[in-house]
């Protein structure tokens, strides 16, 4: 992961403005994923730089040279790439080291891909800010076909996501899905080397890396519902750090925050983890209302339950919408369905 460090992070809130304009120490750390073998994650860095640039644009005191510093923090999830994420502890492995650094005061702000953030936050931390969401759809990448539907029977699709696996196998049971982890460049290299016939990647990440030219086609929401909070960046800080919360509140995009909260509440009710294929997407429709769709599936795609809901586009209403959707699918899936999933203990 990467971090940003704001020079003003520990200065008195009562100090004169000149204290902010002339920071006396290096700035506040923001944390994001880094990659194994000492090769930093380009996507993590891109997200940290985006956050840094927004902070500088919104607060003149942070535009000073050295006022915001990016700090790289490697996480277990980044370093263990030869096993499925579910087998080594789940998505929390992308945030634990970052959370520790934040609570210990080694960084002041943590930048996360929201889809990697567990539904709980460590005590002493708060996530008050979501940047404007990027396109949440998945991208299909292949050298021989234009879509999943065009892949011949027996073709191998590489993906580490059970969410993608279950939806692919539900619609195209003749295809084979194998585990494929690593950063974007690693996955594209394996595709070019013929390790797999095709792969799926989040379009948001490709756009942030300026690598959208690699996209063969974009999957519709109907064909591939995204991961909870896919395309959204979340920024956390310590819950007692009023200055950082003030900085972050100026960057928050409320529509995104409400949509992410709706989807995460859905995930929380279903007690989802990395062994649980769950997908969800909430957005503002053409009438200004919130339109939500959620999905719960078995890993092999043989059983899929879905729900759609519409309601007011307001934070509290959308949290309740996500909660109701989760309870609906939990009820639909009983009895017997939970036996095919390995729920969090």
| 86-103 residue pLDDT tens | 444 444 556 788 899 999
- The CATH number covering residue 157 comes to 3.40.190.10
* pLDDT attached to residue 223: 97
The answer to whether residue 4 is domain-embedded is no
At how many degrees (to 10) do helices 315-333 and 254-269 cross? 30
Domain assignment present for residue 318? The answer is: yes
Residues 278 and 299 occupy one common structural domain: yes
Please check whether residues 54 and 176 belong to one and the same domain. Answer: no
Task: Give the range of the structural domain holding residue 151, as residue numbers without chain letter.
Answer: 138-218
Tokens 């073998």 -> residue: 37
Look at residue 104 and tell me if it is in a domain.
yes
Do 248 and 296 belong together in one domain? no
Would you tell me how many other CB atoms lie within 10 Å of the CB of residue 15? 10
33/126 same-domain check:
yes
Question: Rounded to whole angstroms, how far apart are CA atoms 198 and 174?
Answer: 14
Do residues 40 and 114 both lie within one domain? yes
**What pLDDT does residue 93 have?**
54
Q: How far apart are CA 142 and CA 114, in angstroms?
A: 27
Predicted local distance difference test score (pLDDT) of residue 64: 86
Q: Is residue 100 located within the same domain as residue 74? A: yes
The share of the chain scoring above pLDDT 70, in percent, equals: 78
pLDDT tens-digit profile of 145-176?
999 999 999 999 999 999 999 999 999 999 99
pLDDT value for 271:
79
CA 6/CA 61 separation, integer angstroms:
10
Q: If DSSP states are collapsed to H, E and C, what string results for the chain?
A: CEEEEECCCCCCCCCCHHHHHCCCCCCCCEECCCCCCCCCCHHHHHHHHHHHHHHHHHCHHHHCCCCEEEEECCCHHHHCCCCCHHHHCCHHHHCHHHHHHHHCCCCCEEEEEHHHCCCCCCCCEEEEEECCCCCCCEEEEECCCCCHHHCCCCCEEECCCHHHHHHHHHHCCCCEEECCCCCHHHHHHHHHCCCCCEEEEEHHHHHHCCCHHHCCEECCCCCCCCCCCCCCEEEEEECCCHHHHHHHHCCCCHHHHHHHHHHHHHHHHCCCCCCCCEEEEEEECCCCCEEEEEEEECCCCCCEEEEEEEECCCHHHHHHHHHHHHHHHHHHHCCCHHHHCCCCC
Which of 116, 135, 242, 317 is flagged as catalytic? Answer: 116
Do 165 and 198 belong together in one domain? yes
- Tell me the pLDDT tens digit for each residue of 170-221: 999 999 999 998 889 899 999 999 999 999 999 999 999 999 999 999 999 9
With 70 as the cut, is the pLDDT of residue 336 above it? no
How high is the pLDDT of residue 76? Answer: 58
Average pLDDT over every residue of 112-122: 91
**Is 162 domain-assigned?**
yes
Q: Please indicate, yes or no, if residue 279 is contained in any of the structural domains.
A: yes
Task: Please confirm, yes or no, whether 116 is among the known catalytic residues.
Answer: yes
- Does 78 share its domain with 38? yes
Note the pLDDT tens digit of each residue in 8-17.
333 322 332 2
What phi, psi does 141 have (nearest 5°)? -130, 125
Asked if the structure places residue 344 within a domain, the reply is no
Q: Is the peptide bond before 189 cis (omega within 30 degrees of 0)?
A: no
Q: What's this model's pTM, rounded to 2 decimal places?
A: 0.84
Distances (CA, A) of 5 to 23, 103, 147, 232, 286: 12, 14, 43, 21, 40
pLDDT tens, residue by residue, 38-82? 334 788 889 999 999 999 999 999 988 888 888 888 765 444 444
Q: Are residues 151 and 214 in the same domain?
A: yes
Query: Do 293 and 243 belong together in one domain?
Result: no
| Domain tally, the chain | 3
Query: Is residue 48 domain-shared with residue 114, that is, in the same domain?
Result: yes
Domain check: are 264 and 330 in the same one? yes
- Between 106 and 38, the more confident residue is 106
């Amino acid at each position: 992961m990467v971090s940003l460090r704001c020079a003003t992070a520990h200065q008195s809130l009562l100090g004169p403005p000149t204290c902010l304009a002339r920071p006396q120490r290096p700035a506040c750390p923001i944390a994001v994923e880094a990659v194994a073998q000492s090769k930093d994650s380009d996507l993590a860095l891109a997200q940290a730089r985006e956050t840094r640039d927004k902070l500088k644009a919104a607060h003149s005191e942070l535009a000073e040279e050295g006022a915001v510093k990016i700090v790289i923090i490697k996480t277990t999830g980044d370093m263990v790439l030869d096993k499925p994420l579910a087998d080594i502890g789940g998505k929390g492995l992308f945030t634990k080291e970052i959370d520790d650094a934040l609570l210990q005061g080694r960084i002041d702000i943590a930048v996360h891909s929201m889809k990697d953030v567990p539904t709980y936050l460590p005590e002493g931390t708060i996530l008050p800010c979501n940047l404007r969401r990027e396109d949440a759809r998945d991208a299909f990448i292949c050298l021989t076909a234009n879509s999943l539907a065009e892949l011949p029977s027996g073709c191998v699709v590489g993906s580490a996501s059970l969410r993608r696996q279950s939806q692919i196998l539900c619609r195209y049971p003749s295809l084979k899905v194998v585990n494929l982890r690593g950063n974007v460049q690693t996955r594209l290299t394996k595709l070019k080397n013929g390790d797999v016939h095709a792969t799926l990647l989040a379009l948001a990440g490709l756009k942030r890396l300026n690598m959208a030219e690699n996209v063969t086609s974009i999957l519709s929401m109907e064909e591939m519902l995204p991961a909870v909070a896919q395309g959204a960046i979340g920024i956390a800080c310590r819950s007692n750090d009023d200055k950082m919360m003030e900085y972050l509140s100026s960057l928050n995009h409320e529509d995104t925050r409400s949509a992410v909260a709706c989807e995460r509440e859905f995930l929380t009710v279903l007690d989802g983890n990395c062994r649980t294929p769950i997908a969800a997407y909430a957005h503002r429709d053409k009438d200004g209302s919130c339109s939500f769709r959620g999905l719960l599936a078995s890993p092999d795609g043989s059983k899929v339950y879905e729900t759609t809901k519409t309601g007011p586009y307001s934070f509290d209403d959308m949290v309740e919408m996500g909660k109701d959707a989760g309870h609906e699918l939990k009820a639909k899936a009983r009895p017997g369905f939970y036996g095919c999933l390995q729920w969090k203990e």
